[in-house]
């Protein structure tokens, strides 16, 4: 009967080899059992002996066809079971220690769409839950190396995609109607939401790097899949732009008014092609406690804070203004608040729109040639307004915020330099590849602004071109969240 050369330099007959397999598969799952006499050529604890045997056979390249199914170490499949190299007990002991230390590691990947953006999901791993991710290799001098296999992590991700990452969910229009104020509205079966996808190999590689380096937390960038809305006629509307604001820190009455304005008045408003949207028309003329609005502070006479029904409604118009601004629509009417309001600082400092029925309105024109749908909602204390439509090739670039201390020399407001109480954004809209770009300054002028704003907010540039394909590497490797 032919013999296999032992990794310890001792001949192993096929009969003894089978006994080793039987012993290894039995004792890896029972490390406290006592080895039988026929295996006393390894003088160590039974758990280490069993693990050592499995590791020896794995490193040797014994075919998985004869390897015990119970084994936690995954063998390397090779054509031959012959082994010509010798591994010392010291090398084996070192490999076992490497494996032990690696299995203690854990890592959490924070899934984001860009650096500094909100976390949209997390993927946490305890390597001890995935021992099959480890692989073993030997050097010419007989040393054994244990490492984490990207390929095996990739196999796991393909078999079980991340459930922590939401997929896009489209929305369908179920009916259309005109309300008492003459506003066109629709009903939908849901609020459309974005989804996210990732490259399997890139994600597996990121987890490998984190676990291998001992990094507990790291970022991984995923790709956002924009939401869509399907009309009753079967037409698909794409997300053209999104506006955000936060009302964290507001009183209970103000928070209730913001949610009422977003959920009951602005959500699912239909804007026909070539018409001008009016926020006050959507809001309705009855802003009273009888209509469900709560008392909250409101600015009167440009400087007085007085409690009144509907205080906080400007949070809704401000969030919509930011979406219309990014979409590149002509702004027909808009005025910022006379007092600087800290609630409007996040997501667009200096981009706010005050409204008051019968006096101040916010209006924009739908010049896309197709209808628009507005959906609005809250998540916690975050307000979001999404505008859906048919992309017409326009591109919008918004740069800012500029303050008097940070504005370039050639940035002039009505032919003069900026004032200390002003915040400026520069918007450039290009309607198609052959169209000439149209540039305008969006100037917010307050009674006063905090001096710290110029240091707190750096100048950034946001580009928006609805309908443009998201660049991605490895097309077929892109997996959507679910």
DSSP codes, 36-78: PGGGTTS-S-HHHHHHHHHHHHHHHT--TTSS-TT-SSPPPP-
pLDDT of residue 277: 98
User: What is the spatial distance between Cα 453 and Cα 473, in angstroms, rounded to a whole number?
Assistant: 39
Q: For residue 134, list its beta bridge partners.
A: 148
State yes or no: pLDDT of 296 exceeds 90.
Answer: no
State yes or no: pLDDT of 8 exceeds 50.
Answer: no
Q: How confident is the model at residue 138 (pLDDT cuts 50, 70, 90)?
A: confident
DSSP codes, 343-381: GG-TTSTT-----BTTTB--EEE--SSS-EEEEEEEETT
User: What is the spatial distance between Cα 398 and Cα 460, in angstroms, rounded to a whole number?
Assistant: 8
State yes or no: pLDDT of 131 exceeds 90.
Answer: yes
User: What is the spatial distance between Cα 39 and Cα 25, in angstroms, rounded to a whole number?
Assistant: 14
pLDDT of residue 467: 73
Between 76 and 149, name the one with better pLDDT: 149
**317 three-state secondary structure:** helix
User: What is the spatial distance between Cα 314 and Cα 305, in angstroms, rounded to a whole number?
Assistant: 14
Calculate mean pLDDT across residues 69-85.
Answer: 37
Lowest mean pLDDT among 64-73, 137-146, 195-204: 64-73
State yes or no: pLDDT of 81 exceeds 50.
Answer: no
User: What is the spatial distance between Cα 136 and Cα 58, in angstroms, rounded to a whole number?
Assistant: 7
Give the tokens for residue 332: 């027909």
pLDDT of residue 448: 95
The C-alpha torsion from 140 through 143 and 144 to 148, rounded to 10°, is: -80
Between 32 and 198, name the one with better pLDDT: 198
C-alpha distance from residue 476 to each of 192, 200, 221 (Å): 25, 9, 18
Q: Which are the contacts of 240, defined by CB distance < 8 A and separation ≥ 6?
A: 327, 368, 372, 387, 388, 389, 391, 466
Instruction: Tell me the average pLDDT of the chain.
Output: 82
User: What is the spatial distance between Cα 127 and Cα 231, in angstroms, rounded to a whole number?
Assistant: 47
Report pLDDT digits (tens) over 115-128. 777 888 999 999 99
In the block, tokens 């506006």 appear at: 243
Q: Which of 467, 436, 282 has its CA nearest to residue 370?
A: 467
Calculate mean pLDDT across residues 42-49.
Answer: 41
pTM above 0.85, yes or no: no
Kind and range of the H or E run holding 323 = helix 313-327
Sign of the alpha-carbon torsion through 472, 477, 481, 482 = positive
Calculate mean pLDDT across residues 305-333.
Answer: 94
User: What is the spatial distance between Cα 219 and Cα 113, in angstroms, rounded to a whole number?
Assistant: 10
State yes or no: pLDDT of 24 exceeds 80.
Answer: no
Report pLDDT digits (tens) over 239-275. 999 999 999 999 999 999 999 999 999 999 999 999 9
pLDDT of residue 56: 53
DSSP-derived secondary structure letter, 231: -
**27 three-state secondary structure:** helix
Lowest mean pLDDT among 90-99, 371-380, 422-431: 90-99
User: What is the spatial distance between Cα 73 and Cα 21, in angstroms, rounded to a whole number?
Assistant: 13
175 near 132, Cβ under 8 Å? no
Lowest mean pLDDT among 31-35, 171-175, 345-349: 31-35
User: What is the spatial distance between Cα 353 and Cα 5, in angstroms, rounded to a whole number?
Assistant: 81
Q: Which of 123, 119, 204, 122 has its CA nearest to residue 157?
A: 204
Q: Which of 95, 93, 90, 91 has its CA nearest to residue 73?
A: 95
- The residue ranges of every structural domain in the chain are 1-83, 227-466
| Percent of the chain whose predicted confidence (pLDDT) is above 90 | 61
User: What is the spatial distance between Cα 482 and Cα 479, in angstroms, rounded to a whole number?
Assistant: 9
DSSP-derived secondary structure letter, 219: E
For 133, counting Cβ atoms within 10 Å of its Cβ (0-12 exposed, 13-18 middle, 19+ buried), the class is: buried
Between 171 and 50, name the one with better pLDDT: 171
For 320, counting Cβ atoms within 10 Å of its Cβ (0-12 exposed, 13-18 middle, 19+ buried), the class is: buried
User: What is the spatial distance between Cα 120 and Cα 114, in angstroms, rounded to a whole number?
Assistant: 11
| Helices and strands (H, E) in the chain, number of each type | 9, 26
Q: How confident is the model at residue 17 (pLDDT cuts 50, 70, 90)?
A: very low
Angle at 402 between CA 399 and CA 404, to 5 degrees: 160
| Percent of the chain whose predicted confidence (pLDDT) is above 70 | 79
State yes or no: pLDDT of 4 exceeds 90.
Answer: no
220 near 162, Cβ under 8 Å? no
Q: How confident is the model at residue 226 (pLDDT cuts 50, 70, 90)?
A: confident
Lowest mean pLDDT among 156-165, 238-247, 262-271, 457-466: 156-165
**Residue 242 Ramachandran class (φ > 0 left, ψ -120 to 50 alpha, else beta):** beta
pLDDT of residue 5: 36
State yes or no: pLDDT of 358 exceeds 70.
Answer: yes
State yes or no: pLDDT of 22 exceeds 90.
Answer: no
Between 201 and 46, name the one with better pLDDT: 201
Calculate mean pLDDT across residues 178-203.
Answer: 92
């Amino acid at each position: 009967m032919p013999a296999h050369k032992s990794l310890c330099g001792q001949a192993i007959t096929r009969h003894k080899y089978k006994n080793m397999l039987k012993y290894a598969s039995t004792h890896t799952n029972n490390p406290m059992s006592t080895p039988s006499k026929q295996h006393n050529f390894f003088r160590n604890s039974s758990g280490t002996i069993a693990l050592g045997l499995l590791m020896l056979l794995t490193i040797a390249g014994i075919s998985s066809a004869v390897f015990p199914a119970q084994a936690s170490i995954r063998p390397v499949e090779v054509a031959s079971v012959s082994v010509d190299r010798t591994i010392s007990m010291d090398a084996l002991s070192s490999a076992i220690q490497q494996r032990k230390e690696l299995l203690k590691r854990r890592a959490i990947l924070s899934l984001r769409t860009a650096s500094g953006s909100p976390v949209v999901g997390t993927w946490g791993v305890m390597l001890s839950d995935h021992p099959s991710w480890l692989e073993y290799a030997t050097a010419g001098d007989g040393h054994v190396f244990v490492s984490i296999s990207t390929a095996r992590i990739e196999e796991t991700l393909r078999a079980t995609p991340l459930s922590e990452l939401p997929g896009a969910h489209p929305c369908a229009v179920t009916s259309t109607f005109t309300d008492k104020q003459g506003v066109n509205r629709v009903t939908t079966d849901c609020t459309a939401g974005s989804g996210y996808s990732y490259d399997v190999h890139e994600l597996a590689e990121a987890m490998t790097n984190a676990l291998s380096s001992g990094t507990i937390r790291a970022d991984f960038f995923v790709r956002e899949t924009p939401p869509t809305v399907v009309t009753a006629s079967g037409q698909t509307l794409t997300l053209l732009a999104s506006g955000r604001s936060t009302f964290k820190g507001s009183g209970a009455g103000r928070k209730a008014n913001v949610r009422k304005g977003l959920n009951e008045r602005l959500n699912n408003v239909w804007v026909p092609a070539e018409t001008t949207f009016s926020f006050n028309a959507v809001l309705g003329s009855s802003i009273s406690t009888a209509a469900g609005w709560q008392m909250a502070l409101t600015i009167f006479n440009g400087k007085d804070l007085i409690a009144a029904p509907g205080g906080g409604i400007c949070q809704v118009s401000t969030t919509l203004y930011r979406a219309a601004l990014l979409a590149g629509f002509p702004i027909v009417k808009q005025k910022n608040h006379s007092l600087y309001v800290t609630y409007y600082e996040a997501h667009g400092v200096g981009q706010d729109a005050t409204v008051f029925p019968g006096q101040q309105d916010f209006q924009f024109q739908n010049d896309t040639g197709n209808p628009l749908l507005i959906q609005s909602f809250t998540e916690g204390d975050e307000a979001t307004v999404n505008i859906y439509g048919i992309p017409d090739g326009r591109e919008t670039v918004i740069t800012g915020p500029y303050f008097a201390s940070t504005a370039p020399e050639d940035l002039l407001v009505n032919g003069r330099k900026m004032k200390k109480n002003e915040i400026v954004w520069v918007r450039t809209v290009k309607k198609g590849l052959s169209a000439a770009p149209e540039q305008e300054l969006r100037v917010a002028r307050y009674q006063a602004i905090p001096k710290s704003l110029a240091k707190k907010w750096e100048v950034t540039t946001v580009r928006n071109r609805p309908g443009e394909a998201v660049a991605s590497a490895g097309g077929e490797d892109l997996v959507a969240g679910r």
